[in-house]
Structures are given as C-alpha cells and as structure tokens.
Structure 1
Amino acid sequence: MSDAKALFGGGVAVITGAGAGIGAGLARHAALELGMTVVLADVDTAAIAALRAELEAAGARAVDVACDVRDPGALERLAERTVTEVGPVRLLVNNAGVEQFGYLWDTPVANWERLVSINVNGVFHGIRAFLPRMLAEAGRSWVWNLSSIGGVSAAPLQAPYIMSKHAVLALTECLHQEVELAGHAGHVHVQAVLPGAVASDIFESAGAVEDGDIAAAEEHREAMLKVKAQAMDPLDAARVFFDQAAAGEFYLTSQPFVVDAMAARADTLAHRRAPVLLQGEFTVPAE
C-alpha cells in the first residue's frame, strides 16, 4: 500500500472546481486509486453529474453538489451537508479558478471582480466553512489551496490571474503558520499546490477584453493553448500531488520546472532585479 493510500484511503475529499481539469483529475485519483469518497463541487452541474456517474460505475463513491465558491453561504451549506451526510472531511481542495487575458488596463471591471471572487475569495470562503469543522474532528486532515507556477512568477497579459495565485500562495503560507500557532500542526496539514502546465479548459474559458488591444489578448490565449498541447495529464499530476503530500511536503509541484521558477523568483527578489519580460517564451521545458 502506498503512503498516500494509507493516509487518504477511506476518507472524504471535497474538491471545488471538480468538473474538469485538475479538479477532475484529483477526484478520479482520489476515488479510483486511493479509495476516497469524493464530494464534487462545481457550478457546472452537468460536468460533475457526469463525473459522479463515471466514478460510481467504476465502483467508487461520489456525491455531486452544485456550489458557487463566490457565495460564502454555498460553501457553508456544502460543509454542513458533507459532514452530516457523507462524513468528516479528510481532504479539502480549494481548486476552483478562472483565467483572464489582456492588458491590465483593458480588463473589464466585471471580469476582474469575478476572477478575484472565485480565485481568492473562494479559497477564503472554503477555509472559513470547512476548517473549524476539521479542527473539531479527532482525525488528521489536509487542506490544499491551488496556487500555480504563476504564484511564484510574473507574466504579461494575465496579470489578474497571476496576482490571484500570488495571493493564494501567501494566504496558504500564513494559514500554515496560523494552524501551527493555534496548536493544530500535527492535526491539520495545510499545503500549497503549484501546478506548472497541467491540461485543463481554463485557457479556452478565460475572460477576454471588450475594447483596447483585443488582438494582444487573443494572441496570448493562442500562445497558452500551445502550452496546453504540451501539458501534463491531470491524472498524472494528481498522483504527484498526493505522493508529495503524503511525504509531508508543503509546496506540491507538478513538474521540476516549477521548482526552477521558485528558485528564479527567490533570486530576482534577493538581488532586487526588475522582472524580466517574458515574450514568446510560453513553452513547457523539457525534463
């Protein structure tokens, strides 16, 4: 038995944004390979219903729940329903997220506010709803917040997304310290997930700009879709994340080049250099 299966097997995992991409990959691995019961939360009810049916057909246990992470009440209801009807939460994955392309000054206010409310506020609402319940349980549990390689780097034409992932990483680092300060370090384990290039539909569904330099925004979308074509399968990424979590890592990274980006960021800050313009360099490094 793997360390991940020993730790997580038989427990309940709640995954927001579970309808596609990384969220669906985590759900499939947790349910089919680790034997977890998965609670699939998403605004795309058709997607999570289909995934629940797929998992149940394979003999796994899954529950699908419509949930908009922008609504703190929805997360509170999800937490209460999970604990009452499914069981104590062993793993909470705050994964729901959206992208935005274009120059920052061209970004529609509504798009900015939507992205922040999902990518940042959604993580906060998830923690507020679930963590007190997890702290009250006797068993060990884990909280994963989805940052990104974008959380340790900078890139043009997707500033709202990059900003949000920096925010989630900082939030997670602070939460890790607060859990320790409150005396729960051996009880609740907080970890930051930093995917590099993992296949999802986030680029296709990314927000656009309505005026200004529309061409630049769409050219960037096309560049990122080329990255997707080289990206890691979400199921493979899920295996890596669970193995690293079981080993006690704090930063869960999908590929070695994410660690390289972390080192580059640290070096840039240590030497107080201005960010280097990334232009035409959006590729997946060979491992």
Structure 2
Amino acid sequence: MGGEQCLSDATGAAVVTGAGSGIGAAIARRAAARGMPVVLADVSAERIEAVARVITDAGGDALTVPTDVADPGSVESLADAAYARHDRVALLINNAGVESLGRLWELPVDEWRRVMSVNIDGAFHGIRSFVPRMGADSRPSRVVTTTSVGGIGTLAGMGSYGVSKHAVQQMAETLYLECAETFPQIGVSAFVPAHVTTRIFEDVASSAHADEAADHWRTQLREKGMTADEAARIFFEGADRGDFWICTHPDVYARLAGRRATLLTEALPPDFE
C-alpha cells in the first residue's frame, strides 16, 4: 500500500518548502547529510540562500528556488526547477506554514486568508504540482505534509491556525488513500510536531491580543520545545519506517487524540485542552 512505502528504499532529490528556517531548514540539512540533493523553497530568498551555504559548505548539493506556496504558478515553477535540475524527486515535504493568533471575530479578513492560503493552499499546490510527476516514476518516493498537534486538538485564540491544520491533516489522510489506489509507489506521511523551537511566532501579525499571546508561546517553546534538529531526526526515522503518523511528541499526540476521540464518540462540546 502507498502509505507503507519506506523512504530508505528511495533515491532522488528532496524538495522542502518553508526551508528557510526552523523545521524545514533542519530537514533540508539532514536530507543533505544523508546524501540527498535538496531543493530549498521559501518565500525568503535570503533565508534559503543561508541554508544552502551551510549545505554546500559541507559538500552537499542544494538548489534554492524562492517560492510563494500560496501562488500555484510559483509552486509549478518550483516543480519545473526541481525536475530540470534532478532526474527525480524522491521526497516532497510540504512544510511551509504560518501561525496566527487572535479570536475568530477579531481577525482581519486578510489575516484569515493569509493563513489559509499558505497553510492549506500551499500544501494543495505542492500535491498538485509534484504528485503526478512523482507518480509517473515507478520508483519509490514519499510525500510528507507538516500538520500539527493543532490539527488534532483545539485551542481558543488560535482558531485560524487550528482550522488550517485540521484541513491539512485531512488532506494528508486523503492523499494517503488516493496514492494507495493510483500511485502505490508513493508513500504518504503526516508530520505532526508539538513544541518545537522555531521562529513561527516571530512572524505573527501584530495586535494587542496577538502580541501578548505570542510572548506566551515563545516562552513555551523556549522552555519546553525540542530543537528543530531533533524534530528532523524524528522525521527521518518515521519516514524510513514508512509511518503515516510521524509525531515529535507521541505523548502529547496520544493525550490530544484521546480527548478528541472521547469528544466525538460521546458527542461532547469542546473543552479547553
């Protein structure tokens, strides 16, 4: 079945969106250390150039392609560049994502749309541009989408992000089934981080409530978060096993999934995590 295809069976390039910092940069560095050529995509050309220098200085192969994942044409150009440089893509990581804080009725419409276009549309555009090309190759490959424990649980004040991650989780599950039917050589995984120390709260749109909440979450990540490098190690261990669920914090996932299951099976109203 497609979801059981192990990454260790695959050879080829790794394409990473959101590769300019945090988890994406760490995954790209680890992929290169494993001998994979990498294609780095991010809206910030400066950030991916810095990541590429680290990789090439260590003897790796890195191509940078500034990409706005919210724009389908930009992602199609990313796919064109990846396949122009490399014979095949063995690993696609739909990792680009943004955070947003604030009560649903307080969010500006443009902020809501920004989160949905990057987090949901960005993953969809990656699937649409890469999966047919990967499926045309009979050799094994894998698509991994970064979701979140926010796609399992629910938090007040983080509604737009949570909505987007619930949607992306469903997208990964659907892709798993569809690849199993049509492209069984493509494995599919959902990468589910919890507390990982990244810059995600540095780019939150500013408001009185959001600024206070962002300070809280930055503190949480500093005090409780694992490093992005450790998250990348867990990522590849799970991908090598062919896991669908790849969780940085299995205990947090189990707690949230258990609460969610109880809520659904007993038809309970939402409560605070």
Q: TM-score, normalised by structure 1?
A: 0.89
Paired AA for residue 274 in structure 1: P
Matched, 1:241 2:235: yes
Post-superposition shift, 1:181?
Answer: 2.3
197, 214, 219: which one pairs with 1:221? 214
Q: TM-score, normalised by structure 2?
A: 0.94
Residue by residue over 1:120-165, the C-alpha shift from the partner in whole angstroms, topping out at 9 and shown as x without a partner, is 0011011110000000012100001111000000001110000000
Instruction: Name 1:25's counterpart in structure 2.
Output: 26
Aligned CA distance change for structure 1 residues 5 and 270 (closer, same or farther; 3 Å): closer
Write out the 4+ residue segments of structure 1 that deviate beyond 3 Å after TM superposition. Answer: 4-8
Pairs aligned (count): 267
| Unaligned stretches of 5+ residues in structure 1 | 279-287
Identity %: 39
Matched, 1:254 2:248: yes
Map 1:75-94 to 2 at 5 A: 75-94=75-94
Residue by residue over 1:32-75, the C-alpha shift from the partner in whole angstroms, topping out at 9 and shown as x without a partner, is 1x111110000111110011011100111111111110111111
Instruction: Name 1:203's counterpart in structure 2.
Output: 201
Paired AA for residue 228 in structure 2: P
Paired AA for residue 219 in structure 1: E
Moved more, 41-50 or 256-265: 256-265
Alignment check: 8 A CA contact 1:40 1:64 kept: yes
Instruction: Name 1:264's counterpart in structure 2.
Output: 259
CA distance in 2: counterparts of 1:96 and 1:87, whole angstroms: 24
Instruction: Name 2:9's counterpart in structure 1.
Output: 7
CA distance in 2: counterparts of 1:65 and 1:87, whole angstroms: 17
CA distance in 2: counterparts of 1:162 and 1:97, whole angstroms: 12
Residue by residue over 1:91-125, the C-alpha shift from the partner in whole angstroms, topping out at 9 and shown as x without a partner, is 00011110111111110111111111100001101
| Unaligned stretches of 5+ residues in structure 2 | 1-5
Paired AA for residue 7 in structure 1: D
SS at match of 2:142: strand
Aligned CA distance change for structure 1 residues 259 and 30 (closer, same or farther; 3 Å): farther
CA distance in 1: counterparts of 2:21 and 2:51, whole angstroms: 9
Alignment check: 8 A CA contact 1:140 1:188 kept: yes
Residue by residue over 1:155-184, the C-alpha shift from the partner in whole angstroms, topping out at 9 and shown as x without a partner, is 0111000000000000111111111222x2
Post-superposition shift, 1:86?
Answer: 2.1
Matched, 1:274 2:272: no
Map 1:5-154 to 2 at 5 A: 6-8=8-10, 10-32=11-33, 34-154=34-154
Residue by residue over 1:243-267, the C-alpha shift from the partner in whole angstroms, topping out at 9 and shown as x without a partner, is 1121121111001222322222112
Paired AA for residue 235 in structure 1: D
SS at match of 1:190: strand
SS at match of 2:129: helix
Post-superposition shift, 1:5?
Answer: 7.8
Alignment check: 8 A CA contact 2:7 2:141 kept: no
CA distance in 2: counterparts of 1:53 and 1:5, whole angstroms: 25
Matched, 1:231 2:225: yes
